[in-house]
Amino acid sequence: MLELSILFPSILNGLTSGAVYALIALGLTLIYGVLHIINFAHGALLMIALYGVFFLNARLGVDPYAALPVMVLAMFALGYVLQRFVIGRAGHGKDENILLVTLGLTLILENFALYAWRSDTRTIETPYTFSTVAIAGAMISTPKVVAFFGALAATAILLAFITRSDLGRAIRAVAKERQGAKLVGIDVEHVFAMSFGIGLACLGAAACFLLPAYYVNPQVGNGFVLIAFTIVVLGGMGSFAGALLGGFIIGVVESVGGLWLGESLGQIGIFVIFIAILLFRPQGIFGART
Amino acid sequence: MLEARHVSISFGGLKAVDDASLVVPPGTITSLIGPNGAGKSTLFGILSGFLKPDAGSVRFLGRDVTGLPPHRICRLGMTRTFQIVQPFAGQTVRENIAVGSHLHRPQRRAALAHAESVALRVGLAGHLDKPAQDLTIAARKRLELARALATEPRLLLLDEVLAGLNPQEVLEVSPVIRSIRDSGVTVLMIEHVMQAVMNLSEHTWVLNNGQLVAEGKPADVMRDSRVVEAYLGHGAAERLRAAGKQAHA
Amino acid sequence: MKTLYTILVVCGAVALLPAFVSSGFVLNLVIMTLYATLLGQAWNILAGFGGQYSFGHAAFFGTGAYASAALQVHFGVNAWLCLPFAIAAGAAVGALVGALSFRYGLRGSYFALVTLAFAEVFRILANSVKFTGGGVGLLVPLKSSALDFQFQGKAGFLYVILALTLAGFLLSWWLERSRYGAWLTAVRDNEDSAAALGVDVFRVKLQAIVISAGLMGAGGAFYVQYFQYIDPHLAYGPAVSVEALLGPIVGGLGTVFGPLLGAAALQLLGELTRNLMGDVPGVSLMIYGAVLIAMVTFLPRGIGGLLRRLTPGAA
């Protein structure tokens, strides 16, 4: 039906977006896996990170990739503070409350952006914005290729951290058995905040990889929230491998779907998948059947 | 009244209930005992429609009710309580019980009035307008009982309604259960409080590792070596007998 | 009884308003407050009474709006006649979403997310389909007669929205004192216990979402008549879903007057903000977001709960 010469680049593009989506979803997976909260504000926080990268570039001339350490640290700090002093306090532990609190956070962040920076869509220009890389005959824009490898590298670092470091072990302990972790002396509040911080740090990294090939405006977060959740649910809540695989799948579905149905309608495929998974296989690809 | 035939259910490879068959005659208080993890609550879940058995059938009042949803089974006349009490937290005691009363009373006023009378029966009259979440554990257990009673069941399934109560409280609730039976309601109760099992129930079934290992009058069943072993472990019956001989020697 | 009298008194007072006030500005304020109240009442039925928090209530609103607009634009149907169609269309979507979600046991956050996804799907569809005017939306033809559900002054619209919110009030009042309402709140507080007491949980939830969605559909139809325009973002975007939930949470979930209290408080807050800071985009919503977090943290029972605590003895 579709020629390979059109399909192949579409798939490759899908994989590059997929890598970034995966990084975004990984942060969400970590937050859900440890805190068991659905961070509805994930999209808005990504938007803030994107603005961060934008302004670092526009005002201070910092290259988005060079901004990585700054963004990762800044977003980590933001996450830590948010969880420790806002979300943790407000939640009272109830599922629905956390949902409302993160919704409130989204409202605040999106409208703050609207108020401070207007609704104009911003992009950045770097020396390599328009250059492309040839991969097996397909021309893929350079920022996207960098995003692909960058996101994979960030994911690898994250996974290594979770499995090897002491904090990573503490995080996994809290994720598995909250009370038990408390009993062996782990500062659960601290671990929660650290996890949230790391989850947002992923957003910081993702923003650095995303902006050169994309854009930012106050509403940008909305689109990412559902995509991120779809990936997390598709891969199986709490499964890192699932989020990674899910990211690639969704990236390709979006890209090929857009090819087939047109830009706006193409996104429908993602949401239909989301609904279908929640209804028919809520444990996702890798999740365990509870 | 109630008959379970060869009921089995497995969870992920573990057989929680294994070929269990029991009968509950009408107008009696029957007890279901067994060590923790034996599968008693699971069996209750199957009987009351919360779980679908992998095999076997449940007959209630002469009719096959296997696999029917809980609300259908309740409407047929079998109501269960839960081991871990789950009141409607934000509502008052009266409102809680009224939900049960509404099964046979569409009018709000009638249901609330009926709820009050049920509360009186179980000894909750003084708490009618208190929020359910403010009750003590003993009062909550009574509320659980009252709610189920309000549905005017033919068969009441009580899941450890005496658990967590001190001996005094057990003494206070026991006559209530007896009066329920006297009013024509059949009772099947899961219990750990042996004193209540002995005093209240006329017939006992013993579940261990998902299998029914003994049944009979409570006093006889307690002496059965299989039951002792179920609770105290393999070889315990022998050891107890030997210890008894030693003490008399 | 006290609640019923209060409802009638409040609605009666509002009905008398146009006789004393001719300022279009004030009337618009009251209309928008009642409109927000209606949306809140709809959300409150499913979330406050039923315990199911939807983040995609726009799906029902937008469908009602488009049903009404499309029938007028494409088939010339009288706008009043479109109202029952809008309610039915909203209710139908509610039935679809509810049947799927509740059949598969979705609760809590998962339910909220799925409703959001449905709203998004509808938005994308509306954006791509000619029947709904695509991205351009639909402009309802300008008529000037009350017989066409358009009014010269604001008073006509006020009466319509007042009638709709009165219906919402009566529905909520009925929920507080009926068997169905007792079943619904039982399902909210503990599904298993409710089932054990003979409540058909699935049916009760489905009925709640259908009622809630129908009311949202009515809101959509009203919106189209008042603003004479609808597009995918206005119909199915997050703004409507947020507006529907803000009122009840601020005013008091699961109460008859919560949505009104909340809508009025937020409207006042919005006006205050506008006076202090001018018409700057985003400021009022930012404040609403902060209010939302504050409410959930400190006043989970909303303003209504606070009032009840301060006046012992009052129901």
**pLDDT tens digits, residue range C231-241?**
999 999 888 99
Average pLDDT over residues C46-71: 95
Cβ atoms of residues B18 and B209 within 8 Å: yes
User: Beta strand B63-64 with B211-216: parallel, antiparallel or unpaired?
Assistant: unpaired
What residue in C sits closest to A272 (Cα-Cα)? Answer: C121
How much is the pLDDT for C71? 93
- Proportion of chain C above pLDDT 70, given as a percent: 99
Query: Pick from C108, C125, C288: which is nearest to A107 by CB?
Result: C288
Residue A200 identity: L
CA B183 to chain centre: 17
Higher confidence at residue B175 or residue B229? B175
Higher confidence at residue C62 or residue A188? C62
How much is the pLDDT for C142? 81
How much is the pLDDT for C42? 97
Q: What is the pLDDT of residues B192-211, one digit of tens each?
A: 888 888 888 899 998 888 88
Residues of A in contact with C288 (CB under 8 A): 107
Q: Which residue has the tokens 């008091």?
A: C252
Residue A289 identity: R
Chain A / chain C CB contacts < 8 angstroms: 130
CA C11 to chain centre: 17
What residue in A sits closest to C97 (Cα-Cα)? Answer: A275
Q: Which residue has the tokens 């938007």?
A: A47
What tokens were used for C124? 């994308």
Query: Pick from A108, A222, A271: which is nearest to C117 by CB?
Result: A271
| Cα B47 from Cα B2, distance rounded (Å) | 9
Enumerate residues 6+ apart whose C-beta is below 8 A from A236. A242, A283, A284, A285, A286, A287, A288
- Enumerate residue ranges in chain A where pLDDT < 70: 1-2, 91-93, 287-290
Phi/psi for B58 (5° steps) reads -125, 125
How much is the pLDDT for A190? 87
Please indicate whether, in this complex, the C-beta atoms of C189 and B148 are within 8 angstroms of each other.
no
- HEC sequence for chain A: CCCHHHHHHHHHHHHHHHHHHHHHHHHHHHHHHHHCCCCCCHHHHHHHHHHHHHHHHHHHCCCCCCCHHHHHHHHHHHHHHHHHHHHHHHHCCCHHHHHHHHHHHHHHHHHHHHHHHCCCCECCCCCCCCCEEEECCEEEEHHHHHHHHHHHHHHHHHHHHHHHCHHHHHHHHHHHCHHHHHHCCCCHHHHHHHHHHHHHHHHHHHHHHHHHHCCECCCHHHHHHHHHHHHHHHHCCCCHHHHHHHHHHHHHHHHHHHHHHCHHHHCHHHHHHHHHHHHHCCCCCCCCCC
Surface-to-core class of residue C26, CB atoms within 10 Å of its CB (0-12 exposed, 13-18 middle, 19+ buried): middle
Residues of A in contact with C242 (CB under 8 A): 103, 107
Minimal C-alpha gap between A272 and chain C (Å): 8
Residues of C with CB under 8 A from a CB of A: 53, 55, 100-101, 104, 106, 108-110, 112-114, 116-118, 120-121, 124-125, 127-128, 135, 238, 242, 245, 249, 280-283, 285-286, 288-293, 296-297, 300
Confidence label for B249 from pLDDT (cuts 50, 70 and 90) = low
Question: In the predicted model, is pLDDT for residue B9 greater than 80?
Answer: yes
Query: Pick from B82, B102, B103: which is nearest to C193 by CB?
Result: B82
Q: What integer best gives the mean pLDDT of chain C?
A: 91
| Cα B158 from Cα C218, distance rounded (Å) | 47
Query: Pick from B50, B102, B148: which is nearest to C179 by CB?
Result: B102
Mutation for C interface: B99, B101, B141, most C CBs within 10 A: B99
Q: For residue B3, what are the β-bridge partners?
A: B23, B59
3-state class (DSSP) for residue C314: coil
Nearest to B147 by CA among B183, B173, B111, B172: B111
Average pLDDT over residues B168-176: 87
| Cα C228 from Cα C138, distance rounded (Å) | 8
Query: Pick from C178, C189, C195: which is nearest to B108 by CB?
Result: C178
Average pLDDT over residues C229-258: 93
What tokens were used for B136? 């003590």
Cβ atoms of residues A261 and A57 within 8 Å: no
Confidence label for B248 from pLDDT (cuts 50, 70 and 90) = low
Enumerate residues 6+ apart whose C-beta is below 8 A from B99. B88, B147, B150, C182, C183, C186, C194, C197, C199
3-state class (DSSP) for residue B46: helix
Count CB neighbours of A137 within 10 A. 9
Please indicate whether, in this complex, the C-beta atoms of C286 and A104 are within 8 angstroms of each other.
no
Mutation for A interface: C121, C242, C296, most A CBs within 10 A: C296
Higher confidence at residue B173 or residue C172? C172
What residue in C sits closest to A90 (Cα-Cα)? Answer: C297
Question: In the predicted model, is pLDDT for residue C107 greater than 80?
Answer: yes
Cβ atoms of residues A131 and A142 within 8 Å: yes
CA C76 to chain centre: 27
3-state class (DSSP) for residue C175: helix
Q: For residue B23, what are the β-bridge partners?
A: B3
Query: Pick from C108, C281, C293: which is nearest to A96 by CB?
Result: C108
Residues of C in contact with B147 (CB under 8 A): 193, 197
Chains interfacing with B (3 or more CB pairs < 8 Å): C
**For the whole model, what pTM was predicted?**
0.90
Cβ atoms of residues C245 and C57 within 8 Å: yes
State whether residue B151 sits within 8 Å of chain C by CB.
Answer: yes
Mutation for C interface: A45, A48, A89, A96, most C CBs within 10 A: A96
Minimal C-alpha gap between C190 and chain B (Å): 6
| Cα C290 from Cα C287, distance rounded (Å) | 5
What is the DSSP code (8-state) at residue B216? Answer: E
How much is the pLDDT for C235? 95
Chains interfacing with C (3 or more CB pairs < 8 Å): A, B
Average pLDDT over residues B102-115: 94
**Alpha helices, DSSP H, located in chain B:** 40-48, 70-76, 93-101, 108-122, 137-150, 167-182, 194-200, 218-223, 225-232, 236-248
Mutation for A interface: C297, C298, C301, most A CBs within 10 A: C297
User: Beta strand B29-33 with C229-230: parallel, antiparallel or unpaired?
Assistant: unpaired
Minimal C-alpha gap between C151 and chain A (Å): 34
State whether residue C178 sits within 8 Å of chain B by CB.
Answer: yes
**Interface list for B 216-245 with C (CB within 8 A):** none
Mutation for C interface: A39, A83, A111, most C CBs within 10 A: A111
How much is the pLDDT for A123? 87
Query: Pick from A105, A115, A272: which is nearest to C293 by CB?
Result: A105
CA C226 to chain centre: 16
Minimal C-alpha gap between C315 and chain B (Å): 13
Minimal C-alpha gap between B32 and chain C (Å): 19
Higher confidence at residue A177 or residue B43? B43
What residue in C sits closest to A111 (Cα-Cα)? Answer: C282
User: Beta strand A132-135 with B63-64: parallel, antiparallel or unpaired?
Assistant: unpaired
Cα distances from C195 to residues A239, B50, B80, B98, C178, in angstroms, run 33, 9, 10, 14, 18
Q: Which of A148-152, A261-265, B27-31, C304-308 has the highest mean pLDDT?
A: B27-31
| Cα C32 from Cα C38, distance rounded (Å) | 10
- Proportion of chain C above pLDDT 90, given as a percent: 67
Confidence label for C315 from pLDDT (cuts 50, 70 and 90) = very low
Please indicate whether, in this complex, the C-beta atoms of A115 and C283 are within 8 angstroms of each other.
yes
State whether residue B100 sits within 8 Å of chain C by CB.
Answer: yes
Query: Pick from B86, B103, B107: which is nearest to C198 by CB?
Result: B103
Chain B / chain C CB contacts < 8 angstroms: 77
| Cα B132 from Cα C246, distance rounded (Å) | 28
Residues of B in contact with C301 (CB under 8 A): none
Cβ atoms of residues A127 and A190 within 8 Å: no
